[in-house]
Amino acid sequence: MKHAVILAHPKPTSFGAAMARACVDHLSAHGHEVVLRDLYAMDFDPRLKAEEMPTGQGATPAADVLAERALLKDVKSLIFVYPFWFNAPPAILKGYVDRVFGMGFGYASINGRMEALLDGVSLTSFSTSGAPGRWVNSTGALKALMAVFDLHLCGVCGLRLLDHAHFGDVVSNMTEEWGEDILGQVRDRLNNLFELTSGPET
């Protein structure tokens, strides 16, 4: 299986980046093909341009979007890794979805009806926040985000939602033990979701 790990965090030394690397390393160690798309390192432009917006005649993606779609065309698993900012994904990830997963890739207009184009592709998310995980769950913040982002994206594009694991208390002074525990949970989730057999630890 080919996976695309989409990282949306501006700091290469962030814990989010460590989570993304853990995904890449663990899946690769079990024989899976993985590509990492570090949106900030790529300097991805999240702004949907007027000339890219769909019209009655279709859509005209920009060159960077066409290149990204070509890279993702045979991916069967999308893994988003990002922090909560005001209980939402960073703007760069939302813009990536707006531009890359728009008409002609995520969905199409066929005989006047919207048709999903990514059936057979799965979506998994690993998100973090400085707030405690229990707060994110008890306030409904995660449920609300999943309704407007995860579930909507899956519904429009035909993706199969596998999981959204959120980890709270991710702060600059978090203990090494807590960080290792989270990374272990990420690997365990990947093992369960993709039926990875026991093998080398990463």
pLDDT recorded at residue 68: 97
Predicted TM-score (pTM) of the model is 0.94
C-alpha distances out from residue 41 to 9, 37, 62, 176, Å: 9, 8, 19, 25
pLDDT recorded at residue 202: 42
Averaged pLDDT for residues 175-179: 95
Residue 176's Cβ-side half-sphere holds a number of Cα atoms within 13 Å equal to: 0
Averaged pLDDT for residues 36-50: 97
Mean of the per-residue pLDDT values of the chain: 93
| pLDDT band per the 50, 70, 90 thresholds, residue 109 | confident
Tens of pLDDT, residues 53-91: 887 777 889 999 999 999 999 999 999 999 999 989 999
The Cα–Cα gap between 174 and 86 comes to 20
| CA torsion through residues 178, 183, 189, 195, sign | negative
Three-class secondary structure of residue 109 per DSSP: strand
Tens of pLDDT, residues 118-158: 999 999 999 999 998 888 888 889 999 999 999 999 999 99
C-alpha distances out from residue 81 to 28, 55, 117, 142, Å: 17, 32, 23, 14
What are phi and psi for residue 82, nearest 5 degrees?
Answer: -165, 160
Which of 28, 75, 38, 22 has the alpha carbon at shortest distance from 188? 22
